[in-house]
Amino acid sequence: MTTLARGSDTLTRDALAVLQPGFTGTTAPDWLLRRLGEGLTSVGLFGRNITSPEQLAALTAQLRAERADVLVAIDEEGGDVTRMEVRTGSSFPGNLALGAVDDTALTQAVARELGRRLAECGVNLNWAPSADVNSNPDNPVIGVRSFGADPQLVARHTAAYVRGLQAAGVAACTKHFPGHGDTAVDSHHALPRIDADLDTLTTRELVPFRAAVAAGTKAVMSAHILLPALDPARPATLSPAALHGLLRAPLTEGGLGFEGLVVTDGMEMRAISAAYGIERGSVLAIAAGADAICVGGGLADEDTVLRLRDALVAAVRAGELPEARLADAAARVRALGDWARHASGAGAAEGIAPAPEAGLRAARRALRITPGAQPYQPPTGPAFVAAFTPVANIAVGDETPWGVAAELARLLPGTATATYGSEDAPGDGGAPGGGGAPALIANVLADAADRRIVAVVRDVHRHAWMADALDALLAARPDTVVVEMGVPQAPPSGALHIATHGAARVCGLAAAEVITGGVAGG
């Protein structure tokens, strides 16, 4: 039971405590340090804040000098979504690769090594893993971030990931509750809707989250998605039915019985900000049962923190937000900060032997290689990499390099590359069956000259222009190697087809090894 102290200073401190803001720069600005002294308990880090492990460690030490129990959070899924290695690509394959291998010991080992590296740099809360079941192969935002389309597979790997990460003293934040896999809309841009009934949600979406709770996940992140079967009016982040009535409710009442920290997805995402505004959205989220407001991916200044702090205080004073609910949320944030501080003090990560090759071994095991009709002959000279590139979703971002060109160039010096998008298929806007593919492929063939072509695609099944271009390329150059770095939904094609199940740097390296006749497997 929460004991209330009704002074305005306590109310302000509680309002600050529930915020997880971001900032710009690679050192903490004065305003952020000042707010930590006034009650702010969490800070979110993004790629813009990180240049090296050494710099990150210095930054977190700067934050911790101001507040010993500060929660330093990051969105480090590995695979396509990396903040620590945003400029180079991740040393770890993502969830789909791990799900393709389906070795929970491997998943736990990868998560433990990732957690060890985070802890070594002073990060103690990871907004991962994604427990979404990728039941809709056209999903524009989850895809390779999911362990797969089977709920039981996703459940066992989610649990393994939670155990591995938290063994290193880094709190897991399992997302995106109650499940973002069956959506065709990216909640960064608009409000997705899932029209599944409760029975389907129970046997599909909720299965991995139940496993995560059973595994002891310290936090759960809510999704900005509308599920009419739970709440016909409000997205899950703002829905008491979803948070209080499902996530928190006891197992005996059909809930998940979760008692840890509930974190919102980014409140500046348009699924919330466009309909409610971030101030009103934050008030509704805390009232609905969220404990921490994630903001800072796009809005990363002191004004945002003050706006949200003041909105929460005003809502309590106006009777729109129960003071006890805000106090309880703040207490949960501080409790996780205490856990993280003690885990760090106990040296959880220090007892873990470094495993620098864990990610590459996993990426090699995740490859699915399909030979063409003729025996494959590796290139003996420089190759040409044609990267057919879709627009990156916001969660992944367009800063992080992907593909096989850089890794292949190390193995085959002189290898060149070029990028082609839907805008390079003129005349039909990328529509299936139009006249754009021949023009695009004419450019590819001219750029490649007599070099062996390696075509790199990403979710070719979702992009008609890409499928048309690949068909035209294979008709012209049947010896082309095809590397699918997204969800391998389309039938394999090419003289050699390699499905990497993700676009991390190590996935590209594993594919490049095979292209040049090298190792495959772990």
Query: Any idea which residues carry the catalytic annotation?
Result: 188, 265
CB 225 within 8 A of CB 182: no
Closest CA to 11 of 403, 325, 234: 325
Closest CA to 366 of 460, 161, 506, 489: 506
CB 211 within 8 A of CB 195: no
Half-sphere exposure of 279 (CA within 13 A, CB side): 14
Residues 6+ apart with CB under 8 A from 167: 108, 112, 115, 348, 352
Q: CA separation (Å) from 259 to 126, 377, 456?
A: 18, 56, 44
Sign of CA dihedral 75, 79, 84, 88: negative
Q: Dmax over Cα atoms in the chain, in whole Å?
A: 78
DSSP label of 375: P
Closest CA to 154 of 138, 140, 134, 180: 134
**Rg of the chain over CA atoms, in angstroms?**
23
In terms of DSSP bridges, do strands 496-499 and 368-371 run parallel, antiparallel, or are they unpaired? antiparallel
Sheet holding 368-371, edge to edge: 368-371, 496-499, 481-484, 452-457, 383-388, 416-420
DSSP label of 193: B
Closest CA to 298 of 275, 267, 277, 272: 267
How far apart CA 107 and CA 98 sit, in angstroms, is 6
Give the number of other CB atoms < 10 A from CB of residue 346: 11
Residues 6+ apart with CB under 8 A from 351: none
- Cα–chain-centroid distance for residue 138? 17
How far apart CA 159 and CA 213 sit, in angstroms, is 8
Strands (E), 346-476: 368-371, 383-388, 416-420, 452-457
How far apart CA 322 and CA 336 sit, in angstroms, is 22
Q: Which amino acid is at 12?
A: T
Whether a cis peptide bond, with omega within 30° of 0, leads into 129 is yes
How far apart CA 95 and CA 129 sit, in angstroms, is 8
DSSP SS3 for 426:
coil
